[in-house]
Amino acid sequence: MSVTETTLKPFKEFAEKNGDYYATTFLKVQQETLSKWHVNKAAALGGFFWASLRANWLLFWIGFFIDLVALVYLGAAYKFKTATGSVLLDVEKFKAAGNEAAAQNKMFLIERYENWTSSSIMSAIIIFILGRIFFGWLADRIYFRQYNAWRVDHTKQSGSKTSRWVMLAVIVALIAPLMLYRSTQFAPDARTCVKQDRAIAKGEEFSFQDKFNCKVISDFPTLFWIDRPDKYDVKRAKDGTRYVERTAPTNKTPINLHTYTSGKIENVVKYLTGFYSYIFDGIVSVLNGLLGAITAIFAGTPWPIMMGALLAIAYYAAGIRITIFVGASLTYLALFGFWLTAMETLSLVASATCVCIVMGLPLGVWVGKSSRGKAIVTPILDIMQTIPSFVYLLPAVAFFGIGVVPGILATVIFAMPPMVRLTSLGIQHVPESTKEAALAFGASPRQLLTKVELPLAMPSIMAGVNQVVMMSLSMVVVAALIGAGGMGFLVTRALANSDTGKGVLAGIGIALLAMMIDRVVQKANNGQS
Amino acid sequence: MTNMERGKPVISCKNVWKIFGEQADQALEEIKRDNLSKAEALEKFECVIGVRDVSIEVYKGEVFCIMGLSGSGKSTLVRHINRLIEPTAGEILINGTDVGGLNAEDLRAMRADEIGMVFQNMSLLPHRTVSENISFALELRNVDAFTRAQVAEEVIEKVSLQGYGDRYPSELSGGMQQRVGLARALAADPEILLMDEPFSALDPLIRRGLQDEFLALSKVMNKTTLFITHDLDEAIRMGTRIAIMKDGEIVQIGTPEEIVTNPTDEYVAKFVQGISKLKLVFAHTVMVPVAEYEAKHKKLPALKSCPQAGTEDDLDALVAKAVDQDKPIIIMDEGKPVGVVTKDSLLHAIRGDS
């Protein structure tokens, strides 16, 4: 197609100033003939000034960032330069006092600061020049997108107006001075600032600059100080009843919000474990019962029978190829002396999976069917999944002590969300029309659930179970930290003794265990559907 | 037929309204008072009028077609019959029982025992075999497995699916799946069939076949059928009577012939335009009475030299008699000539001019 004046007209209309240049450039962009090394010289020279003139705020921030970084390096150079000066003064002092050794020590600092000064200046120059060239290279390519947006909606900003420099001035004034000041100062550390806070409370005076440095360019300041709360302890009286003993703090220095709240949390935990221990003991005994039964099956069965049973299950559920893999993995575990430990781990995983299914399935159905259930449960699941697993190890130990049960509970917290999510997903994906048909033939809500929704959601639910098993296995090592034992314990012990060889062997064992279960469960699922 | 001959209606809807939206009741009041249109109600209350003051009566053994374009409220209306949708106002009676007054248990019993429903997208359960799908309604009523299997076998024969009982729906073609859908609706031997565009998703040849089979089956079983369709041809083929819906309202109710020859308004007339009248219009509507003919022309030509036809013969039959000769057709009733159909009037009738 030939290029005529009408082809170029919209480009010029958009660019206004320097229309001819932008018309040819944009045409090249459209024809995909723009040179790889094309740089907009006006943009490269003008930087973010150019971008704000053209109202391209993306380019403005890129350009502003480049210049700011260069400026901060210059500020740092200034900082090191002045530091050199003050060190030199010290050296003079030491020399005058005849302390040659101390002076020599400081000379080393001078050398280091001088190096930093020159390298900062170099960095500033390189960043500025390369940054501006990059900016110029980027400019027309991004500016073209603005043109496309403007084509769709002519109210979008176009052309070039110097009035836009008002906006630029505001932004620069808000950001640049503080950034520049920060780069020229050695920021005080948090400790210095806490000391300063306490000294001010006692009535000492500090210069404005010191206070400013602490409040603005150091860590976020401690806004208020709180008196220490009383300490609570749950004690047992001679007649066996429990009571709360309250002691006033001996240390009177005020504390910050963080310390205050963590103390309160500890008090709550103490109170709950002191007065409601029967609840936690109940949970522990129920889970211990479950675990005992499952362990009796896995670890109590003699190994020849157990191995045969596992192979048979693998064969019927997943076929010969996977059975060979399972056989090889079991042989590895047996030969390297992991058999009983692996069975312990399997018991832990099986118990955790049981709990996850028993709790997760009904919860998932509720979430899938009720919007309120979804609103309540979803954020809790998000929390369960995002909290790092180490975080809830501590409360688990506080409430349930050391051992396998808190390990199972920590595992459940970690592994249950996919069960709930996938169950609810499966329930939600049952077609509305199928449910309607079942209702039209007289299904009651219960029949609808058991005869239509759960069967149709089954593939999704089974995927959830598989996820639960996998995630439980991945928690084995973490749970071992609070005494869950099994293969995870071997890994943590190897870690503690930095015994690489043993760690690797146990790690491979866990991986094989996981792959074994995964393959069998997945194959069984696919075979069904 | 007059209403007296038909007896009591099996299904009767009285002034049924359905308004979707949060302020349905308030909207209903104002729509009734100010006669607001669909668009006005949407703007004022953010409510959609699904069904607007519909009253219909369906009699024993009838195939009552509800025809309308998508969004006309026909599927919404049919879901009121078994209360899958609750009406905003009005009542629905089935054999004199108010459906709205049933408790949950009675409603389920009625759905399972008295009403069978067929859906456009079949909605079969993919994890159950054809037999299990068919006997689903019985299973919901806790009928034992042996009886269920027997009933399923019987119904499978009725819809000619022999040998497919133990297959899964996904192994069947669309047409066969809809036979399963039909069989499922018939399994509990309900008095009423609700068919929501049952054949719309099928290709034309299969659709034809299923329509014919259903008509034959329906004659034998004498079920009362409410048949939803968006296709006037289908409505005319299937329907004893047809109701035409537009924007939630019923525009016209009548036999296929009444609808085709006497549309009440522009909207219905537009639909009818393209419909072939050959099988729908009969000699008695197009003939000119003998006296009128004699007043205009001379005497009636000799009876023997003219082709003759009865009053209930359709246009197709008349055309067959009119070709290859020039004489008008004499329409006979009980051995006496009652009217005359000339070639001109025949051609006008085929075109649909009145």
> Could you tell me if residue A197 is inside a domain?
no
Contact B118, B133 (CB under 8 A): no
| CA angle B281–B283–B285, rounded 5-degree value | 65
> How would residue A505 be classed by pLDDT, with cut points 50, 70 and 90?
very high
Complete DSSP assignment for A411-438: HHHHHHHHHHHHHHHHHHTS-HHHHHHH
Q: What percent of chain B has pLDDT over 90?
A: 47
Please name the residues in contact with B11: beta carbons below 8 A apart, sequence gap of 6 or more: B56, B57, B58, B64, B81, B92, B93, B94, B192, B224, B226
Across the interface, do A440 and B126 touch by the CB < 8 Å criterion?
no
pLDDT in tens, A307-317: 999 999 999 98
> Could you tell me if residue A211 is inside a domain?
no
> How would residue B354 be classed by pLDDT, with cut points 50, 70 and 90?
low
In this complex, which of A433, A436, A447 lies closest to B140 when CB atoms are compared? A447
Question: Per-residue pLDDT averaged across B283-312, rounded?
Answer: 82
pLDDT in tens, B128-153: 999 999 999 899 989 999 999 999 99
Q: Is the pLDDT of residue A362 over 90?
A: yes
Q: Is the pLDDT of residue A98 over 60?
A: yes
In this complex, which of B111, B121, B124 lies closest to A442 when CB atoms are compared? B111
| Residues A58, B156: Cα–Cα separation, whole Å | 68
Question: Tokens 């998703």 sit at which residue?
Answer: B201
Both A262 and A316 in a single domain? no
Both A21 and A125 in a single domain? yes
Q: Which two tokens stand for residue B44?
A: 């004022």
| Rg, C-alpha atoms of chain A | 35
Q: How far is A445 from chain B (nearest CA, A)?
A: 10
In this complex, which of A433, A451, A456 lies closest to B119 when CB atoms are compared? A433
Residue A249's domain spans which residues? 231-275
Q: Which two tokens stand for residue B137?
A: 């309604």
Q: Exposure string (b/e) for A294-315, b if CB count within 10 Å is 16 or more? A: bbeebbeeeeeebbeebeeebb
Query: Is the CB of B121 inside 8 Å of chain A's CB atoms?
Result: yes
Q: Which residue in A429, A436, A441 has the most chain B C-beta atoms within 10 A of its own C-beta, making it the best mutation to test that interface? A: A441
Give the DSSP H/E element, type plus range, for residue A352: helix A339-369
- A444 to chain B: nearest residue by CA? B108
Please name the residues in contact with A430: beta carbons below 8 A apart, sequence gap of 6 or more: A452, A453, A456, A457
Both A84 and A168 in a single domain? yes
Q: Is the pLDDT of residue B166 over 90?
A: yes
Q: What pLDDT, on the 0 to 100 scale, is given for residue A101?
A: 82
In this complex, which of A431, A444, A458 lies closest to B108 when CB atoms are compared? A444
Q: Which two tokens stand for residue B278?
A: 């050959």
Q: What pLDDT, on the 0 to 100 scale, is given for residue A418?
A: 94
- Rounded alpha-carbon distances, angstroms, from residue B322 to B17, B92, B290, B296, B319: 50, 49, 18, 21, 5
Give the DSSP H/E element, type plus range, for residue B258: helix B256-261
Q: What's A416's domain CATH number?
A: 1.10.3720.10
Q: What pLDDT, on the 0 to 100 scale, is given for residue B4?
A: 45
Q: Is the pLDDT of residue B2 over 70?
A: no
| Residues A326, B123: Cα–Cα separation, whole Å | 41
> Could you tell me if residue A222 is inside a domain?
no
> How would residue A1 be classed by pLDDT, with cut points 50, 70 and 90?
low
Across the interface, do B184 and A438 touch by the CB < 8 Å criterion?
no
Provide φ and ψ at B241, rounded to 5°. Answer: -130, 160
Q: What pLDDT, on the 0 to 100 scale, is given for residue B5?
A: 56
Q: Which two tokens stand for residue B177?
A: 């799946």
Query: Is the CB of B177 inside 8 Å of chain A's CB atoms?
Result: no
Q: What pLDDT, on the 0 to 100 scale, is given for residue A75?
A: 93
Q: How many residues comprise chain B? A: 354
| Higher-confidence position of B349 and B65 | B65
Both A375 and A270 in a single domain? no
Q: What pLDDT, on the 0 to 100 scale, is given for residue A454?
A: 95
Both A133 and A263 in a single domain? no
Q: What percent of chain A has pLDDT over 70?
A: 99
Q: How far is B102 from chain A (nearest CA, A)?
A: 13
Contact B155, B116 (CB under 8 A): no
Both A271 and A285 in a single domain? no
| Residues B102, B96: Cα–Cα separation, whole Å | 12
- Rounded alpha-carbon distances, angstroms, from residue B135 to A252, B82, B107, B210: 80, 19, 19, 21
Complete DSSP assignment for A92-153: HHHHHHT-HHHHHHHHHHHHHHHHHHHHHHHHHHHHHHHHHHHHHHHHHHHHHHHHHHHHH-
Residues of B whose CB is below 8 A from A431: 123
Both A334 and A461 in a single domain? yes
Q: What pLDDT, on the 0 to 100 scale, is given for residue A228?
A: 87
How buried is residue B32: exposed, middle or buried, by Cβ count under 10 Å (0-12/13-18/19+)? middle
Both A398 and A491 in a single domain? yes
Contact B20, B45 (CB under 8 A): no
Contact B228, B196 (CB under 8 A): yes
Query: Is the CB of B125 inside 8 Å of chain A's CB atoms?
Result: yes
Both A26 and A141 in a single domain? yes
3-state secondary structure of B16: strand
pLDDT in tens, A262-314: 888 888 888 888 888 889 889 999 999 999 999 999 989 999 999 999 999 99
Q: How many domains does chain A have?
A: 3
Across the interface, do A442 and B127 touch by the CB < 8 Å criterion?
no
Domains and CATH numbers, chain B: 58-91+101-114+190-273 (3.40.50.300), 283-351 (3.10.580.10)
pLDDT in tens, A165-210: 998 999 999 999 999 999 888 888 888 888 888 888 888 888 888 8
Note which residues in 65-84 of chain B have CB less than 8 A from chain A.
82, 84
> Could you tell me if residue A465 is inside a domain?
yes
pLDDT in tens, A448-475: 999 999 999 999 999 999 999 999 988 8
Q: What pLDDT, on the 0 to 100 scale, is given for residue B24?
A: 86
Give the DSSP H/E element, type plus range, for residue A314: helix A303-318
Both A239 and A144 in a single domain? no
Q: Which two tokens stand for residue B158?
A: 């009725």
Q: How far is B193 from chain A (nearest CA, A)?
A: 11
Query: Is the CB of B342 inside 8 Å of chain A's CB atoms?
Result: no
Question: Per-residue pLDDT averaged across A20-32, rounded?
Answer: 91
> How would residue B76 be classed by pLDDT, with cut points 50, 70 and 90?
very high
> Could you tell me if residue A72 is inside a domain?
yes
| Residues A30, B33: Cα–Cα separation, whole Å | 61
Interface of A with B (CB under 8 A): 431, 433-434, 436-444, 447, 451-452, 455-456, 458
Of the ranges A284-298, A355-369, B321-335, which one carries the lowest mean pLDDT score? B321-335
Both A357 and A459 in a single domain? yes
Domain boundary among A219, A249, A275: A275
> Could you tell me if residue A203 is inside a domain?
no
Contact A400, A370 (CB under 8 A): no
Domain boundary among A184, A206, A241: A184
Of the candidates B95, B134, B117, the one whose C-alpha atom is nearest the C-alpha of residue B228 is B117
Question: Per-residue pLDDT averaged across A479-486, rounded?
Answer: 87
Please name the residues in contact with A80: beta carbons below 8 A apart, sequence gap of 6 or more: A113, A114, A116, A117, A120
Residues of A whose CB is below 8 A from B124: 437
Q: Which two tokens stand for residue B304?
A: 């023997």
Complete DSSP assignment for B211-224: HHHHHHHHHHHT-E
> Could you tell me if residue A431 is inside a domain?
yes
Q: Is the pLDDT of residue A425 over 50?
A: yes
pLDDT in tens, B253-281: 999 888 888 889 898 888 888 788 888 88
Helices (H), A153-254: 165-184, 190-202, 208-212
| CA angle B161–B167–B170, rounded 5-degree value | 100
Both A432 and A297 in a single domain? yes
Residues of A whose CB is below 8 A from B140: 438, 441-444, 447, 451
Across the interface, do A440 and B117 touch by the CB < 8 Å criterion?
yes
> Could you tell me if residue A224 is inside a domain?
no
Signed CA dihedral, A87, A93, A94, A100: sign only: positive
Residues of A whose CB is below 8 A from B188: 441
Q: Is the pLDDT of residue B77 over 50?
A: yes
> Which is it for strands B249-254 and B329-333: parallel, antiparallel or unpaired?
unpaired
Mean pLDDT in chain A?
90
Complete DSSP assignment for B321-335: HHTT--SPEEEEETT
pLDDT in tens, A227-245: 888 888 888 888 878 888 8
Instruction: Return the top range by mean pLDDT from A91-105, A330-344, A481-495, B31-45.
Output: A330-344
Question: Tokens 């003008």 sit at which residue?
Answer: A46
Q: What percent of chain A has pLDDT over 90?
A: 54
Across the interface, do B140 and A455 touch by the CB < 8 Å criterion?
no
Contact A426, A529 (CB under 8 A): no
